[in-house]
Chain A
Amino acid sequence: MSIQKKSSKIGVPNVVYSIISLGAAILLWLFISSTEAHVVFAKPSEVFAALSKLFESGKLFVHINASLYRSLMGFILAFACALPVAFLLGWYKPLQLIFYPWIKFVKSIPPIAYISLVIVAQGVGENAKVTVIFIGCFLVMVINIFQGVQNVDLTMIKAARVLGAGDFTIFAKVVVPASLPFILVAMRLGLASSLTTLIAAELTGAQVGLGQMIQEASMYFEMDVVLMGIIIIGVIGTILDQVVSFLERRLTSWQETRTI
C-alpha cells in the first residue's frame, strides 16, 4: 500500500521524509551551536529572535526588497538580451566567430574581478550593482542557450525541411522548442549567478541589502544576524530554483531524459 502511495504526487511518505530531513538538520544545528563553535554559529533560538526583531522593525523587507530588485532586474535584462543574442550567434556563423570567443573570455572572469571597474564608471549606486549582475548573468545564459541552439539535432531540421518548412518555420517550430531545455538550464544558472554576484556586489558597499546587512552585522560580531542573513539568501535561492523547476515540469515534460 505504501509503495503505491509513494508514486502518487502528494504521497504521505514523501512528506514524512521531508519532516525527518528538516528535523535532522535542526538537530545538527542545535548540536553544533551547543559546542565551542557557538562563537560563530548562533543557536536556532537566537537566530529566530534576530529574525523577529528585524521583522518588527520593518527592516527585513527593506533588505530583501533591495536585494531582490537588484538581482531580478539584472537577471531579467540579461535574459531579454541573452535570448536573441544566443539565437543570432547560433544562426549566423560569422557572428559566432567574431563574438563568441570574447563572450567565453569575459565569462571566464569572475564578476567580482570587474566590480571595481563598474563602480568607478557608475558610482556605488544601484546602477553599478545591476550592471555587474547583468554582465555575469548575461554571459552565463548566452553560452548555455547558444549550446542549446548548436545541439539541435540535425535530422530534426532535415525532417522539418522535407515536410516543407522554410527557414522561419524551422526557427520558430524546431530550433526554439528544441532548445527550450537549455533555455531553462540557462535561467537556472543565471539566477544562481545573479545571487552570487549580488552578494559580492553588496559586500563591497551598499546602503541596504542582504549582503550589506551581513557585512554590517559581522563588524559588530552579531553572529545571529549573520547566520540569519545567510539562511534567508539560501531560502530565496531555493524559491527561485523551484520556480524554474516548475516551469521545467510544465514546459519540457516531453523530454526523454530530464536535464536537472
Chain B
Amino acid sequence: MAGNQDNMMPDQNNVPKVKIRNVTKTYSSKRGDVIALNGFNLDIKENEFICVVGPSGCGKSTMLNILAGLDNATSGEILVDGNVIHGPSPDRGVVFQQYALFPWLTVKKNVEFGLRLKKLSRQEVSDIADHYIEMVGLQDFKNSYPKELSGGMKQRVAIARAYAMQPKLLLMDEPFGALDAQTRTQLQSELLKTWEEERRTCFFITHDVEEAVILAQRVIIMSARPGRIIDIVDIDIPYPRNQETKMEPKFFELKNKIWSQVYNQYLEQRK
C-alpha cells in the first residue's frame, strides 16, 4: 500500500489528481460471487474531463461509487492528491442519474444543503447558491419545489448543487440518461460551457458514445463484466466545442472507433 513507486513530486500539470490503482470489486451473494470490477487502473489529471463508456452491467456505477466513497473496493486503492480516500467527502461531488434532490426543499435550499454544513456565513451560502442557480439558468425557480420542475430542470439543480460545493472532482453517473434527446443535447452544451469556464475535473459515465466524444478529453472504454479498461481514446478535438462539432469528420471517426469497440463488448456479453 504505502510502497507505491510513483514519485510524489507535486508538479502542477502532469501529476495525476486521482490515481485508481488496481481496483477490484466482488459482490457476494447466496447465489455466488459477482466480480463487478477486475483490476481497474486509471490516472485522472487535474482539470481533465473523462468519459466512461461500456456495456450495461460492466461496473461503471460500481467504479463511480467507490470513487465517491459510497462503496468500498474489495482490493486496490484510490488516491486523491496523494491521499488514500476513506468514505465520502464534499471534495468529490456526485450527480446521480435519478437527480436525488430533496423533495421537501426548494431549489435554493437544495443547492444550499451542503454549503450550510461548511464553515460559511449565511450570506456566503446564499451568494454561492445564487451564483450556481444562475449558472444553470434557474434563477426564476429558486423558490420552487422539485415536483414543480421538469426532468431537465431537476438535473440542472443537481448539477448546481454539486458545483456549488466546488469539489476537486465531479462524478456524474449517466446524469442525462433519463432525459429526452433535445433536453439532453441542451444540457450537454451547458455542461461543456461550464467545464470550459471552470475546468473542474470530471469523471462522467454515459451509455451514449456521441455524448462521450462531444464532452471528453479522453474516453475510457470498459469491457463486459468483469469490468476493466480495454482502451483509452484521446479526443483531440479542440475546445470550445458545440453541437456543430458533431458534424466534423474527426468527430465521426472517433465516434465510430469507440462505438465499434463498445459494440464488440456488447456482443461478448451476449455470449
Contacts and interface: CB of A to CB of B under 8 A. Distances in A.
A159 B118 CA distance: 16
A240 interface: no
A117 B224 CA distance: 64
A161 B145 contact: no
A153 B103 CA distance: 11
B111 to A, nearest CB: 10
Contacts of B103: 254-256
Contacts of B68: 158, 162
A160 interface: yes
Interface in B98-119: 98, 100-105, 113-114, 117-118
A163 B96 contact: no
B18 to A, nearest CB: 15
A174 interface: yes
Interface string B85-98: 00011101110101
A155 B96 contact: yes
Nearest to B167: A162
Given A174-B102, A254-B103, A165 B117 contact: yes
Interface residues of A, number: 22
A21 interface: no
B113 A158 contact: no
Given A156-B100, A254-B147, A256-B103, A162 B117 contact: no
Interface in B37-91: 68-70, 88-90
A164 B125 CA distance: 15
Given A164-B117, A254-B147, A255-B147, A159 B96 contact: yes
Given A158-B70, A254-B147, A164 B89 contact: yes
Given A164-B117, A165-B117, A159 B90 contact: no
Nearest to A257: B147
Interface in B131-146: 145-146
Contacts of B88: 161-162, 164
B97 to A, nearest CB: 9
A98 to B, nearest CB: 24
Contacts of A42: none
A166 B90 CA distance: 11
Contacts of B101: 159
Given A155-B100, A255-B103, A160 B147 contact: no
Given A161-B70, A164-B90, A254 B145 contact: yes
Interface in A146-160: 153, 155-156, 158-160
Interface in A171-227: 173-174, 177-178, 180
Contacts of B114: 163-165
Nearest to A156: B100
B162 to A, nearest CB: 8
Nearest 5 interchain pairs by C-beta: A163-B114, A164-B90, A159-B100, A155-B100, A177-B104
Interface of A: 153, 155-156, 158-165, 169, 173-174, 177-178, 180, 252-256
25 contacts: A155-B96, A155-B98, A156-B100, A158-B70, A158-B100, A159-B100, A159-B101, A161-B88, A162-B69, A162-B70, A162-B88, A162-B92, A163-B113, A163-B114, A163-B117, A163-B165, A173-B113, A174-B102, A177-B104, A180-B104, A254-B103, A254-B104, A254-B145, A255-B103, A256-B147
